[in-house]
Amino acid sequence: MTGELRSRFLIRVLALAGLVALLGGNNAARAEEKVVLMTWGGSWLGHIKKNIIEPFQQETGIKVELRLQATSLEALPVFRAERDKPTIDVWTASPVSAIVAAKEGLLAPIPKDAIKNTAYIAPELVHPEWIGWYRLFWGFCYDKARAPFELKEWKDLWDPRLKGSVAVPSAVYSQAKFITLAAWLAGGDERNVDPGFALLKQLKPNVGGFYTGDPEGWRYMEAGELPVMGFCLAGAYIPRSKANPNFRFVAPKPTLASVDTFSMVKGPNQANALKFIDFALGKKAEEAFAQDAVVMPANRTAAPPPSIKQIAPPEENFRYVDEAQVSTVINAWVERWNREVQAQ
């Protein structure tokens, strides 16, 4: 090889070696200082970043790397694909998604002793595979200017005066919570859902449209298509009521309540994952996040935002869904809903 060729060759080898060293070194450094969080995107991500991620990074120096999901169920194929080499450490999810993932062995058990803030979380919200992060409750919403009467109870949704006027969530909305509610209203429960389906079939004449997510449901109301949204999150109502003062939110008894959760996936940064979860469940982070996201904190020492307190019913009206039971039957419920309630 000539001198010139040899020089070119050496330069290329050195450049390549430098690049490998740079990437390898950085990767090695990053693995010790990070935690990988899979969570929801959109405006929710903004609340998480501002009130949890950025303060956590500032306080601990541990970098939070994000992976996004539209729904928590969508994360399951990712965890499956990464089963042999998981990369995600912390996951925010609905309890049903967490239970399904845990059954497949995709989650790591959460050592409660390592998270001191679990002492301030209600025991029913602390499970081996998930811990409640914040609480949600549902009611219904209606446009006072266009509804034919003032709605006060769940049974008002079945009133014949609302024929073709009610937007109703489909079975896949929030893990079939509307079906659970119908079961409760009809005297059944998560283990006896037949009365609920009988009641839902009676609602069919009043259904003006179905929705699979809150934005879709609100579109019916905001576009003036339908005056009633039969099942909506309290937190989603508050910002919209500011845009339209005619919107009303009612959370009759029984008020269906649930949580969103933290789970630990089997990623390589377990110690940092525990620190992150403990930080997020702390009083300060809980209050700040609840204020922005308009939810109720799971930490009992954290105060709920004033906007939620105004519309929240007494907590004794709250009835939490048996998520473990629902996770075993949800697919069957969806199939039944498709054939008996939403059939075209």
Partner 1 sequence: MEAPSTIPAPPATRTSPRQVSLWAVRARVAGVPYLLSLPAILLIAMLLVSLWGLVAMSLGADGPSGSPTLDNYAKAIGDPYYRGIFWVSLQLAAWTTVFCAIFGYPVAYYMHCATPAVRRFILIILVVVSFSDYVLRMYGLILTIGRNGLINQVLLASGLVGAPVKMMYSQLGVVIGMVMGNIVFMILAIGSSLERLDNSLPSAAALLGANRMQTFARITLPLSMPGVLAGAAIVFLLAMASYMTPAMLGAGFVKMIGNLIYEQGIAMFDMPFAAAISMIVLTFSIALIALLNLVLDRFGRRFGAR
What residues make contact with partner 1 under the rule CB under 8 A?
2, 71, 73-74, 76-77, 100, 170, 172, 208-212, 219-220, 223-225, 330-331, 334, 338-339, 342-344
Q: For residues 133 and 210, which CB has a smaller minimum distance to partner 1 in the complex?
A: 210
Distances from the Cα of 110 to the Cαs of 72, 99, 130, in angstroms? 18, 13, 7
The CB-of-9 to partner 1 minimum distance in angstroms stands at 15
Min dist. Cβ of residue 212 to partner 1 (A): 8
Question: Least distance in Å: CB of 135 to partner 1?
Answer: 23
Minimum CB distance to partner 1, residue 79 (Å): 11
Q: Which two tokens stand for residue 217?
A: 């449901």
Judged by DSSP in three states, 182 sits in helix
Q: Report the chain's terminal Cα–Cα distance, integer Å.
A: 76
Pairing of strands 318-320, 255-265: parallel
Whole-number Å distance between alpha carbons of 290 and 295: 5
Q: Pick the closer one to partner 1 by CB: 169 or 267.
A: 169
Nearer to partner 1, 210 or 237 (CB): 210
Is residue 183 within 8 A of residue 192, CB to CB? The reply is yes
Please work out, in degrees rounded to the nearest 5, the angle formed at the alpha carbon of residue 173 by the alpha carbons of 89 and 120: 50
User: Closest CB to partner 1 among 45 and 73?
Assistant: 73
Least separation in angstroms between CB 190 and partner 1: 18
Kindly give, in sequence order, each residue whose CB lies less than 8 Å from that of residue 201, ignoring residues fewer than 6 positions away. 340, 341
Backbone angles phi, psi at 343, to 5 degrees: -60, 140
Question: Whose Cβ is closer to partner 1: residue 213's or residue 268's?
Answer: 213
Q: Which is nearer to partner 1, 102 or 125 (CB)?
A: 102
Minimum CB separation from partner 1 for residue 108, in Å? Answer: 20
Distances (CA, A) of 297 to 262, 293, 309: 13, 10, 12
CB atoms within 10 A of CB 207: 20
